[in-house]
Amino acid sequence: MPRSAMEGCDDGDPLASLDSPEVDKAENKEDAKDKASWKMTYLTLALAVLSVGVAIGSYTERRSEIPAQAQFIDQKALNVLPSVLPPSEFNLTNIFVPPGYDLAALTEKPFHVYDEEFYEVIGRNPTLTLIARSETDPIFHEAVVWYPPTNEVFFAQSAGNPATGTGLNKSAIIQKISLAEAEAVSDKRNATGLVEVVVVDSNPIVLNPNGGVNYKDNILFAAEGQGAYKPSELIIMNPREPYNTTDPIYGRLQDFRPVEGLPHQVYRYNDRTGAVTVAADGFSQPNGIVFSPSGSHAYIADTGAQAVFWGINATSPATIYRFDVANDGTWSNRNTFAYVSTGVPDGIHVDTKGRLYAGCGDGVQVYNPSGTLIGKIFLGEASANFNFAGKGGMVICAETHLYYAKIAATSGAYTGYN
């Protein structure tokens, strides 16, 4: 502040000196006007400092109310690391452990707050429960779909994984759980054996399902096919018995499909006319897809960095892209929305506020609509896919582990039952 603005003020309360008779009796009106102007400036600054103090106090109070299973991760501590490991030691397959933490501490409190907005996602008492496990077979992998009429959650086994025996030998299976059973044990950290996992015998069989979504009171699966003569296809399955039935090229990367004959593109299918058109191209491995709650944006996850049997290429995409969607269904304005540094963003979903959730190499990562990472549901292992289920529920597939999370956010995707 200029020295002239402080003239006439004693070392005590400068505001008190401004209210003194000297100001009222000022013979120079311009001088009085200047002093009055300075007074307003001082008051404005004082109020600004006060509001900042209130904001800091509010933030501190919010920090002191961190839920029992949550912890705050200070991103400033990550800005400059003490050392950088070479790619041979740290790459997309590694779990990043921030300085001052260890893996046990990170998994003990799995809801990691990177930004205050994440409190809106997790609520006051988020919980994470392990509800099922498998020793080696990754039976909790993909195509997570909640079917509201029966309150069940469906998901699929990993196809082409050596531990499954799937691929050319047999198809990956579809399974389901009761959401009510998962909800009943949500107060426990480990509830394995308390939730029944049921195999769904689709008929005819959905060959190697690797993606699923609600569709007209049924479930629409993306099937990878099998071998050279059983192609990939979209299959509608009745979610009730007898489960009658009327993605990217991971079938080849998992060694049970031949070389592809089309580019790696995103296609749009018109279920009224049967027309198939290209919506977007220029991808390495387009994988997860989701629309914003309003339908005005589409998100595509490109998991090209993960080549399965062919290994990891960290210079390829592990990226989520966002497109504008016009009323006629055409896409434009491709933008990079987020890059994932741990694993690849496989399954992606949105909540009612338009926040995007991605299954990644360390669990589920959550981004706000501007692409800022605001928090994680940290598993310490990869989640290929997950989905919202019921009010504030989330079923998370982590290959050999199946989790149920209770949070405050709910799905913003169209299911036909909202």
- Please report which confidence band the pLDDT of residue 34 belongs to, taking 50, 70 and 90 as the band edges: low
pLDDT score, position 256: 46
pLDDT score, position 30: 52
Nearest Cα residue to 342 out of 311, 305, 372: 305
Please count the structural domains in the chain. 2
Q: Provide the 8-state DSSP code for 157.
A: P
Decide if 389 is inside a domain: yes
Average pLDDT over residues 399-416: 92
pLDDT score, position 25: 45
Cβ proximity of 401 and 132 under 8 Å: yes
SS3 406: strand
Q: pLDDT per residue over 76-126, tens digit each? A: 888 888 888 887 777 888 898 888 889 999 999 999 999 999 999 999 999
Decide if 70 is inside a domain: no
Answering whether pTM is above 0.85, one says no
- State whether 47 and 125 are in the same domain: no
- State whether 141 and 60 are in the same domain: no
- Please report which confidence band the pLDDT of residue 60 belongs to, taking 50, 70 and 90 as the band edges: very low
pLDDT score, position 37: 54
Q: Is the pLDDT of residue 296 over 60?
A: yes
Residues in the chain: 418
- State whether 136 and 200 are in the same domain: yes
Cβ proximity of 157 and 173 under 8 Å: yes
Decide if 53 is inside a domain: yes
C-alpha 11/C-alpha 314 separation (Å) is 62
- State whether 143 and 22 are in the same domain: no
Query: Residues 6 or more apart from 336 whose CB is under 8 A from it?
Result: 319, 320, 321, 322, 371
C-alpha 139/C-alpha 133 separation (Å) is 9
- State whether 56 and 147 are in the same domain: no
Q: Which of 44, 64, 84 is the last residue of a domain?
A: 64
Q: Is the pLDDT of residue 16 over 80?
A: no
Decide if 411 is inside a domain: no
Cβ proximity of 144 and 155 under 8 Å: yes
